[in-house]
Structure 1
Amino acid sequence: MDQTLMEFHRGSRKTWRRRQVPSPCGKSCLQEKLRVFCSLPTIAANLGPVDTRERLIPTIADLVSNAIDAGDDEVLLAIAQKLKGFADLVGGKEQAACLLPILEKIICCVEEIVVAQAACDALVEIIPKLPQEVVEEKCMGMIRRILEEDFYYASRKVTTKLITTCYPLVSAKFQSDLKYLVSDNQRVVRAACVGPLVELGRMITDGSEFDSSVRPCIDKLASDTARDSRRAMASSITNLQQVACSFDNPSRSLHQIMINLLEDNEVETRRIATSQFKEFCLVSPQSILLTVLLPQLREHLFVEQEESVRAELVRCAVALLPSIRREDSLPLVQHILSFLNDSIAQSKQYVFQHFSELVALMPTNEVQLTLLPSLLRLWQDKNWRVRLGVVQSVPCLYPSLPESCVRDIVLPANLAWLRDPSWYVRECACRSLARLLRVFPSLCKEVLNGVGQKAAAAAAAAVAGQSQVPNATSLTPAASGAGASSSTLTLNNSTTNTTPAGNPTSLSGQSQSIADANNPSSPNSVTGLTNSSFSVNASNSALNSINALTAQAAAGGLKALATDSNYHLRQIYITAVQTIWGPGIPDESPYSATGENPDMGICLPGVRNAYNAVSSKPTGPVSVPECCQPPPQLPGTHLSTCASQLLRLAADDVVANVRICSVQALQLVSGGLDKKFIQKEVVPVLKKISESDSDADVRFYALESMTVFGSV
C-alpha cells in the first residue's frame, strides 16, 4: 500500500513531515501499518477539525479503497474501529456526515462479518450525533441501498443494528420503510432481525404502532421455514413477550408462538424454547399463564419424546413452582414427580434438585403410597448421581411416614445404602441414617444390631417387591416413551461370600480394596459391588441380588460393618457413629443435577465446624455447630458399645486410615461419653497408640485426641 499519511511531529505543533508507509513485505509491515492506523485519533486531534476533514479523511478514504482491493481485512478492521470516535474530531454533528461514505463502503464491499460489524458499530456511535434531516436523507438512503442491492449477506445482516439506531430519529413516513430484512432471501439475515425487533418494540409506546410495525415481523419470523430464524425467535421469545404485554392487552400475547415453538419439528428449537418457558410464563398475563401455559406444560411433560427436551421441561417446570399458587401447582407437581420413573438420569436429577419443595406441595397420604416406592426402586439405578439423589431425598419423607413403614421398608434400605459402590452415596447414607434416628429414636437398637434374619428377609422381599411391580404402587410414568428405568443395580454373587454373621468377604482380598481407595465411585470400592453389578437387567436374578444385599444389610445392622474385611465399610461404620453421636448432623450440600457442586468431594462445612467445636471446648457437652442439625437423642449405653468398637479399630486395625478415622471419631463423640468410661477405657488406649503405633500420622492424631480427653 503505497500511500502517504501525514503524521504530527511531536517536536513542534506547527511542523509536519510526510512519512512513507512501507509496502507490504510480510508480517512486520502489516504490524507497522496497524500501528499507524491505531494512531489516527491522535493525528486527527492534533490536526484540528478543518485539516482532518480536508486532508485526513480523503487520505483515509483512499486507504480504505486500496485495502478493499488488496483484501487487507486487518487494516479495514483497524480503521473502522478508530472511526467510531471521529464525530467530534471532524467538527461535531454538523460535519460528522463526511464519515458515512467510508463506513458504508466498508459494509458493502467486505465479506468478512467481523469487519462489517465493526463498521456498523462505528455508525451506531455516529448516527445519534447527526441532525434529523441528515439521518433521513443520508442514513436512510444508505440503509435502502444496502438492502436493495445484491451485496454480501453480511452487509444486510449487520444493517439490522442500524435500523434500531435510526428508528427513533426519523419521521413516521421513514419508519415504515424499516421492514425489508424479515423477508430477506438469506436465512442468517432473517435470523439476525430478531434482536433488533426486541429493541424496536421497546422504543414503541403505542400499542397500535406495535401491531402495525413489529407484530407482523414477529409472526413472519416465527413461521419461517428456516430453523435459524425459529431458533433465534425461541431465544428471544421472552423479551418479545415482555414487550408485547407491556401495552396492557392480553390479546397481544405471544403465547401461541411459544406453543408452536414447543411443538417444532426440530429438536434444538424445542429445547431452546423450553429453556425460555419459565421466564416466558413469569412475564405473561396471569390469565394466560393459568388457562393456557400451565396446561400446555403438563401436556408437553407427558408427550415429549426427546430426552434432552424432556429434561429441560422438568427443569423449567420445577423452577416455575415457587412462582405459582399452591392450588395451581399440585397437578404440575404430580407430573414432575412422575419423572422419577423416567428412562434418563438427567430428568430424575432435576427432580431431586428441588425435591424438598416438591414434597412440601404433595398431600401427606400420597407420600407413603406413591412417592416412597418410586424412590426406593431408584436405588437400583446404574447412575450414582441418581442413587445419591435418592439417599439425600428420602429424609424429607421421614416426618410423613409411620414408624412401622420406616422399620419394615426404609431402615433395611438405608442400611443397604451404606454398602453402595460410590463413596458419596455411602457417606450421605450415614447422614440419612442419623436423621432417621432423630425422628425415630426407638429404632436405635435395630440400626445397630439389625432386625434379625426373618425380619430382614421379609423387609428385603418388600423392597424388592416395590421394584418388581412398580406400576402397582409407584407414580405413573411421565411419558409413553419414558417408562420405568431398566437400569438396575445388581450384585455379582460370584465375588462375594456371606459369612453366618452376614458379613461379605471379598475373594480379591485386602490388596484390591486398597488399590481402589482413591476412587470414591469405583464399583470395586465395596465388596460385592463390581462393574458387573451395574447392568441393564430386569431379570429375577437381578431382583434376587438386591434382595440378598438388603437382607444381609438389615440382618447385620451397623455393627456388621465394623468387622467387615473391606476397610471401606469399616470406615463407613466410623463415619456413621460420629454422625449419629457427634455434636451435630452436618447439613447436606445442595443437590446439583448438572454436578456443579463446589462441596462435592471435600469435607462438608458442618463436619469442619464439628471438629472445631470439639477442639475449642474439650469438656462437657458441645452445642450444635453451625451448618449442622441437632443429633438424635439416644441411650448412652449404645454409644458406649460403639465407642468400644472405635477403640478396637483405633488400636488393632491393619489399615492406618481406619485407625486415624477411629481416633478422630472418638473426639467427635467425646461429649456424650461417661467420664468413668473415658478414664478407664479411652485414655489408656489413646496413650498406648500415641507411644507405640507404627504410623506417625496415627500417633499424631492420638496425641491430638488426648488433649480433648486429658482434662476430663
Structure 2
Amino acid sequence: MNPEDEVNSLYPIAVLIDELKHDDVSLRLNAIRNLTTIASALGIERTREELIPFLDESIDDEDEVLLALAEELGNLIDHVGGPQYAHCLLSPLENLAAVEETVVREKAIESLSKIAQIFSSEQIENQYISLIKRLTNGDWFTSRTSACGLYAPVYKKCQPSTQAELKKLYAQLCKDDTPMVRRAATTNMAKFVKEVSQDSIINEFVPLFKILSKDDQDSVRLLTVEVFVSIFEVLSFENNENLLNEELRGLCTDSSWRVRYMVADNLVKVANVVGNKTIQNELVEFFINFLSDNEPEVRTAASTQISGFCAFIPKDTILNKILPCLKNLVTDSSQHVRGSLALNISGLAPLLGKESTIEYLLPLFLQLLKDEIPEVRLNIISKLDVVNKVIGIELLSQSLLPAIVELAEDKQWRVRLAIIEHIPLLASQLGVQFFDEKLGSLCMSWLGDCVYSIREAATTNLRKLTDVFGVEWARTTIIPQIMVFAQHSNYLYRMTMIFAITTLAQALTPEMIAEIIIPTIANLSDDPIPNIRFNVAKSFEQLIPLMKTPQLQKAKEEIVKPTLMKLHEDTDNDVKFFANRALSIVDSV
C-alpha cells in the first residue's frame, strides 16, 4: 500500500476520533449515528480491531450520545463479521449496561438481547453467561438491574446445568437489597417464566413471586400483577387454584392504592387466566370494591374494565351487583372517573340485551349526556354504535338527539370539532331521511362557523356523508345549499363554498364535476377579493388530476384553462402565482 492509500484508509477512523472529541454534542452524536457507514468504510477486520476497542474506551459522554451508541452497536453485527465475531460487541455494551442513565442501560440490554438471538448455544455458554454473571454480581445496582433483562433471551440456549445456575442467580436478584434491582427482576420475571418448565415455575418461581408480592416497596408489589398473569398463562389455574390465591387476595386489598390500581387496570387479564369459580367467588367482590375505591385513580382504572370483566359473569350479577356501583359513578366527584365510565359503559349493552339496556343503561347514558364536562358527553356519543346495534336507532335517537345537538353548538370549538368527526358514523346509523330532518341543517351551519378548523372539518364531513348516502343525495340535498354561499356578501362564506365543493368533488361523478362544480368555481374568478381568486386557481389545481374523461377534458379546455389564463394576468401577485402553478400541470392530464 502506498502512503497516500494508507492515509485514505485511516481517514474514517481519524474523522470519527476528531468528532467524538469535539466539544459540540451534536457532532459527537452525528459521528455515532454514522457508525455503520464508518464501519463499512473501514472493513470488517479494522472495525473489530480498531473501531470497537476505540468505542469501548469512549464510554464517558453525554447520555444522548451514549444512548445512540448503545443502539448503533446492536446494528454492527454484520460489520464485525456476523454472529461468529459478534462477541467483540459485548464489552462496550456491558459497560453501557452499567451506566447511571436508565434509558441508556435499557437500549444496551436491547442490543445485547439482539446479539443473544443470533448466538449459538456454544457462544452463549462460552461468551455470554460470563457477562451475565459479572453484571449480576456487580458492585453497583445499575449493572444488577441491567442483568435482569438478559436471562429470558438466553435461557433456552443453555445446558441444564447452566439453566440451574441462571435460576439461582435470578433468585439472588429477586432478593437484592436494592429496590430498583427487585423492581427490574419482577418486571423481567413475566418474560422469564414463559421460558422455563412448569415444574420450575411451581418449585422455583412461585416462591419468588410470593416473596415479591409481599415486598415492603409498593413499586415492587404492583409489578407482580403482570407476573401473576404470566404464571397462569403457562400453568392451568384450575389445576393450581390454591397456588397463589392468597397472594391475589393480598394484591386486591393492598394498602397501597398504586397496587390496587394495577390490579384494577389488569382485571380482565387476571380473569382470563383464573378459573370461573375464582371469578364468581372472589373477583366480582374485588371489582365492586375497585369501583367504589377511595382513590379516583383506582375507580378510573376499574371503569376501563367494565365490559371486558362483565363478559365473565352472569347477567343477574351485572344487574344486581355491578349496576348499583355504576349508578354511583355517574355522579362521581372525579371527571376522569365519569369520562372513563362514559367511554366503557356502552359495552354492557350487548351483554344485557335490548330490554335491560333500555330499562337500566339508557337512564345512565342520558345522565352522562347532561354532564358538565364536554369530554364525558363526547365519550358517550363516540360509542353509540354499540348501543344502536342492541336497541335500534329510533329509540336511541329520540333519547340522545337533543344532547348531540347541544354538543354540536357547544361554545368550545374543540367540542364542536369532535362532534363533527362523529357525524358520518351517526349518519350511517340514522339513515338518510332521519338525518336530513334532524341533522342536515346543523351540518350546513358548520360551514359558516367563526373558527376555521370547524369550517374545514365541515367540508370534510360533507365528503364523508356523500360516501355514506351517495352522489344523488349530494346533488339534490347538499350541493344546492352550498351554492347559495357563492352569492353571500361575506367573502369567508364564498371561500368556504370553494373549499366545500372542491373537497366534495372527490366523491362525485365526472358529469357532476363538469356540469356543476367547474362552472361554479369559475364564476368566482372575477371576485373582488384576491383571496377568493387565488383559491379558484388552487381549487382547479386540485381538480385537474380528475379531468381524464372526455366530458371533463372538454370542460378543462373550455372553462378551466381560459379561467387560469385570465388569472395568470391578474394584478395580484398571489393570484398570478397560484394560477401559474395550476397552468403548469393543466396539460399533463
TM-score > 0.5, shorter chain as reference: yes
Structure 1's unaligned 5+ residue stretches are 1-7, 12-17, 450-556, 579-660, 669-712
**What residue in structure 2 maps to residue 626 of structure 1?**
none
- Aligned match of 2:137 in 13, 17, 22? 22
- Aligned match of 1:325 in 419, 431, 434? 431
- Aligned match of 1:309 in 408, 415, 422? 415
Is 2:181 aligned against 1:76? Answer: no
Deviation per CA, 1:50-98: give whole Å up to 9, x if none: xx6xx9878755542334557653343233432344462427xxxx376
- Aligned match of 1:285 in 392, 397, 405? 392
CA distance in 2, matches of 1:443, 1:39: 67
- Aligned match of 1:262 in 365, 369, 381? 369
- 1:39-438 equivalences under 5 Å are 39=154, 46=161, 61=171, 63-67=173-177, 72-86=182-196, 88-90=198-200, 96=202, 99-109=205-215, 118-127=223-232, 129-132=235-238, 134-135=240-241, 137-150=242-255, 152-160=256-264, 161-162=266-267, 163-164=270-271, 165-166=273-274, 168-170=276-278, 172-174=280-282, 176-178=284-286, 179-204=288-313, 206-245=314-353, 249-251=356-358, 254-278=361-385, 280-282=387-389, 284-302=391-409, 304-330=410-436, 331-356=438-463, 357=465, 360-361=472-473, 364=476, 368=480, 370-374=481-485, 377=488, 380-381=491-492, 388-389=499-500, 391-393=502-504, 412-416=523-527, 419-420=530-531, 426-429=537-540
CA distance in 2, matches of 1:57, 1:443: 76
Give the greater-gyration-radius structure (CA).
1
Q: 1:443 to 1:280 in 2, by over 3 A?
A: same
CA distance in 2, matches of 1:32, 1:229: 39
* 1:263 maps to amino acid: K
Q: 1:35 to 1:327 in 2, by over 3 A?
A: closer
Deviation per CA, 1:567-586: give whole Å up to 9, x if none: 7645665677x7xxxxxxxx
User: Shift of the alpha carbon at 1:124?
Assistant: 1.2
Deviation per CA, 1:653-691: give whole Å up to 9, x if none: xxxxxxxx4xx76676xxxxxxxxxxxxxxxxxxxxxxx
What's the secondary structure of 1:224's corresponding residue?
Answer: coil
What's the secondary structure of 1:343's corresponding residue?
Answer: coil
- 1:452-601 equivalences under 5 Å are 560-564=566-570, 569-570=575-576
CA distance in 2, matches of 1:298, 1:58: 65
Deviation per CA, 1:301-348: give whole Å up to 9, x if none: 24x222111111122123321233222111222222222222222322
Q: 1:70 to 1:405 in 2, by over 3 A?
A: closer
Structure number with the higher helix fraction is: 2
* 2:139 maps to amino acid: P
Task: Kindly indicate whether the alpha-carbon contact (under 8 Å) linking 2:420 and 2:458 is maintained by their aligned counterparts in 1.
Answer: yes
What's the secondary structure of 2:344's corresponding residue?
Answer: helix
**What residue in structure 2 maps to residue 642 of structure 1?**
none
Task: Kindly indicate whether the alpha-carbon contact (under 8 Å) linking 2:525 and 2:533 is maintained by their aligned counterparts in 1.
Answer: no
- Which structure's relative contact order is higher, taking Cα pairs within 8 Å and 6+ residues apart? 1
CA distance in 2, matches of 1:83, 1:63: 15
RMSD: 5.0
Structure 2's unaligned 5+ residue stretches are 1-121, 127-132
CA distance in 2, matches of 1:346, 1:397: 27
Q: 1:290 to 1:132 in 2, by over 3 A?
A: same
What's the secondary structure of 2:311's corresponding residue?
Answer: helix
Aligned length: 444
* 2:253 maps to amino acid: E
Task: Kindly indicate whether the alpha-carbon contact (under 8 Å) linking 1:84 and 1:125 is maintained by their aligned counterparts in 2.
Answer: yes
CA distance in 2, matches of 1:400, 1:70: 68
CA distance in 2, matches of 1:106, 1:406: 72
CA distance in 2, matches of 1:215, 1:45: 53
* 1:416 maps to amino acid: D
CA distance in 1, matches of 2:459, 2:387: 24
CA distance in 2, matches of 1:442, 1:375: 20
